[in-house]
Chain A
Amino acid sequence: MRIIDIENLSFHYRAGTPVLEDITLHVDKGEWITILGHNGSGKSTLSKLLVGLLRAKKGTIKVGGLELSENTVYDIRKKIGIVFQNPDNQFVGVTVRDDIAFGLENLQIPRDTMIERIEQYARKVDMADYLNKEPHNLSGGQKQRVAIAGILAMETDIIIFDEATSMLDPKGRNTILSMMKQLNDEGVTVINITHDMKESLYGDRIVVLKNGKIIKDDKTDAVLKDQEILEKSNLEMLLPLRVLRLLESENVKDEKVRSYLWQLSLTG
């Protein structure tokens, strides 16, 4: 079932310098889409358009069949949430509890339901013990988990992770990734914007952006082995494939090593 329909979407900050050009993209419910692209390729602009933080110059966005417009933006935000790159830039509350409550207050959810949901989703992201703590004393991974709880509390169907792990230490990154995996298994649609090729292994499909255009939209394994497409967008292949290509270029042929590296490159 379709959950996002983007048709012929274009955006610019200044006329004549397009940031996104004629983007058409469809996402099914429960999918995990990875969006890859170089710095400045338009990835983050796309995510801001999706949650109505920016307005498209051309084209349409439908979320769950509802077309995004000035009138529907608050309804759309009940369906789609976003976790940003810098964990320090997304806190508004004095305590973790206030912070998770913030989105719910905007939705005018009754107080009893609100308290219930805050507890429920804090437990879900394993932050229930921190509800009365100040957000800025948490680690990066913990902050991102609180941000996720805030979105889950609104019971959205879709979460965009906009380079949400890029500033975290290895432990923080691994906790967020396994949380994303768990949510996706439970049916949440995940859109993960990243530069980390290893993260893309979690997803079903990869969309590659270059200079504001989609240059590839295909199954994860098909994109990961497409050296030309990846290099065009300042990305690199996963290590086993890179080593395999290097061996081939040196004319080293060993079937056992070749098939082993091949298999590794698709499973991580």
Chain B
Amino acid sequence: MAIKFNRVDFKYKGEGKKGYLALSNISLSIQGEGEFITLIGETGSGKTTLVQHMNALLVADSGSVDIYGIKVEKEAVKKKKIRLNPIRKKVGLVFQFPEYQLFEETVLKDITFGPKNFGVPEKDAVETAKSVIKIVGLDESYLERSPFNLSGGEKKRVSIAGILAMEPDILILDEPTSGLDPLGRNALLKVFFDIHQKLNKTVIIITHDMNTVYEYAKRVLVMRDSYLVYDGDPVNLFTSKNIENWNLDVPDVLDLTNKLERDLGISLKTRPRSASDLTKALEEVLR
């Protein structure tokens, strides 16, 4: 197991979030390859706090998080007994507004910044940059451009390329598609799915978009008031009563499937999770 949470509690201290309990008794395991996970829940439920424990940006108050065999505990981190660099290399985290974090004069310099910091020679870092820029759906000509003249969607792609250049096994993205137009969102989701499928990496996405969850996720984590209340597959989640209690929306495809079955008496042979699957399922019963 790549990441293992064992009864983790975490409280924010200091001004503002005084005494604010963000994680309560969290236990879960994440594999280092082949997972496609979406993490959902209301604003303030602890989603961002949870993923920040996955690469030791935050450290549990009690309980422990095991990351690639390194036991991240409060005392050990305080006494600097733990080297965090290997963890950061294995688990890449893309923040909610990654575009605010671009700072170099060219895209190339931004993408190679991380690897060079980790001691990768310039020549190799440039080669990696050339390959990751394509993975995120841009071409090599972008490498010489200034990141500040790019569109919002392009900036997001460049920042994701910067994290991919570190070649992490696990890629975590905090609300990567919010604010993008439908075409931009679909294209970016396809990028994440390709990274998962072709490179066999584990991808974890925080989102409020139930359609993304239903269409792509193999596993869903639901946070509610600092607790992990669901860890399982999306079909069971959205067909259970909990979606009302947890203030989640019904995905469009499921909603339309239910309406067709209820109002037209159609009974589909499969449980479609995308528009094209729903069309195929309808075709099957209508032909």
Contact = CB atoms under 8 A, between A and B. Distances in A.
Contacts of B153: 39
Which applies to chain B's interface (DSSP): helix, strand, loop or mixed? Answer: helix
Contacts of A242: 275
A227 interface: no
A48 to B, nearest CB: 16
A178 interface: no
Interface in A211-242: 233-236, 239-240, 242
Contact of B184 (A197, A234, A250, A264): A234
A252 B283 contact: yes
A169 B42 CA distance: 6
Interface in B59-110: none
Interface in B179-233: 179-186, 208, 210
A54 B93 CA distance: 36
Contacts of A28: none
Given A39-B152, A235-B181, A257 B286 contact: yes
Interface stretch (B25-33, B129-137, B255-263): B255-263
A254 B266 CA distance: 12
B242 interface: no
A240 B247 contact: no
Contacts, number: 101
Among B44, B178, B208, B278: residue with most chain A CB under 10 A = B208
A139 interface: yes
Interface residues on A, range: 35 or more
Nearest to B207: A169
B267 interface: no
Nearest to B266: A257
B22 to A, nearest CB: 13
A39 B181 contact: yes
A216 B185 CA distance: 23
Contacts of B175: 167
Contacts of A166: 178-179
Interface string B268-284: 00000001101100110
Closest 9 CB pairs of A and B: A234-B183, A171-B247, A170-B249, A246-B279, A234-B181, A239-B252, A236-B182, A140-B43, A139-B43
26 contacts: A38-B184, A39-B152, A39-B179, A40-B151, A166-B179, A169-B208, A169-B247, A170-B249, A172-B43, A195-B185, A233-B181, A234-B181, A234-B184, A236-B183, A236-B186, A239-B256, A239-B275, A243-B275, A243-B279, A246-B279, A252-B282, A256-B264, A257-B260, A257-B264, A257-B282, A260-B260
